A = this chain, B = another copy of it.
Amino acid sequence: MDKLKRVERLTLITKELVEQPNRLISLSYFCGRFGAAKSTISEDLAIIKESLQKGDQGTLHTIAGAAGGIKYAPKLADTETKELLDHWCARLSDPKRIIPGGFLYLADVVFDPRVTSKAGGIFANYFSQLELDCVITIETKGIPLAAMTASVLNLPLIIIRDNSKVTEGSSVGINYISGSTKQIRTMSLSRRALKPGAKVLFIDDFMKAGGTAKGIHDMMAEFGGHVMGTGVFISTLEPKQKLVANYLSILQLAVLDEDQELVQLKPAL
């Protein structure tokens, strides 16, 4: 590559950091890529750090030493988070979304990359202080949210299946009870998927009574792992008492009345 000007390096370094949040990149990588001295790259990074902070868009963390480098810790500006939550509530509080049986049609929203990338950023922000080995979810509707959260946190993603699959090898299966319907369900995870003692963050799209979240705790116990945090996109106001004690919910489903054709969601942050 031709020798680049400072503004050109700033653009390309910013791109690389933003595309790989929470991933440590060594200064010598940038030196090699741009044929620039370490002092030059350090100055570039100082400018980027100050710019991100001024814009309330997170910061850069410098890790010193031979294995050190720089990583970008993103942050959604508070004003943007508030606007997003209001927008999502308005989009979801639509009686046309009511499915017979008293369910809410969510798929278009919880699969929408514009929603999942931002919600993933919110989860990542909130849980960034935890020491984590991976993000875990259970098929199917929470997968895009969990994938985006794992991407921002730079962590592996693990997906628990409803049933064991021949393509996953030997697996651990457990039964759990849906907190709201009281039905017995199964979940299954390949023995290869999780190392013993893993610290996991559970992400899902929806929590009513918390039966699934409790099932995840039981499953992790089978692997000697620990659920360090639980994040759901939507939790219901009722039942107030969930089967798990601590969780973060982004939105709350306050009202879903099939007869009166009424749906109301509120920001829960």
Residues of B within 8 A of A141 (CB): 159
Given A10-B7, A140-B143; A167-B15 close (CB under 8 Å):
no
Contact A113 B155 (CB under 8 A): yes
**Other A-B pairs beyond A15-B52, A99-B166, A111-B147, 16, CB < 8 Å:** A7-B47, A8-B47, A9-B51, A10-B51, A11-B47, A14-B15, A15-B57, A18-B18, A19-B117, A105-B169, A107-B193, A108-B156, A108-B192, A113-B151, A113-B156, A144-B144
CB distance from A96 to the nearest CB of B (A): 9
Residues of B within 8 A of A154 (CB): 113-114
How far is B15's CA from A161's CA once the two chains are assembled, in angstroms?
36
10 pairs from A and B in contact (CB 8 Å cutoff): A2-B54, A4-B55, A8-B47, A8-B54, A104-B167, A111-B150, A113-B151, A117-B151, A144-B144, A148-B151
Interface mask (A36-73 → B, CB under 8 Å = 1, otherwise 0): 00000000000110111011010000000000000000
Within 8 A of B (CB), among A187-225: 190, 192-193
A positions within 8 Å CB-CB of B: 1-2, 4, 6-12, 14-15, 18-19, 23, 47-48, 50-52, 54-55, 57, 99-101, 103-108, 111-114, 116-117, 139-141, 143-144, 147-148, 150-151, 154-159, 161, 166-169, 190, 192-193
CB distance from A79 to the nearest CB of B (A): 11
How far is B49's CA from A90's CA once the two chains are assembled, in angstroms?
36
Copies in the complex: 2
Contact A166 B113 (CB under 8 A): no
CB distance from A7 to the nearest CB of B (A): 5
Residues of B within 8 A of A48 (CB): 11
Given A8-B51, A15-B57, A18-B14; A113-B169 close (CB under 8 Å):
no
Contact B107 A168 (CB under 8 A): yes
Ranked 4 nearest A-B pairs via Cβ: A11-B51, A113-B151, A8-B51, A144-B147
Contact B18 A169 (CB under 8 A): no
| The one of B1, B101, B107, B108 that contacts A54, using a Cβ cutoff of 8 Å | B1
Contact B143 A52 (CB under 8 A): no
How far is B103's CA from A168's CA once the two chains are assembled, in angstroms?
8
Contact B167 A116 (CB under 8 A): no
Contact B168 A105 (CB under 8 A): yes
| The one of B7, B51, B107, B166 that contacts A51, using a Cβ cutoff of 8 Å | B7
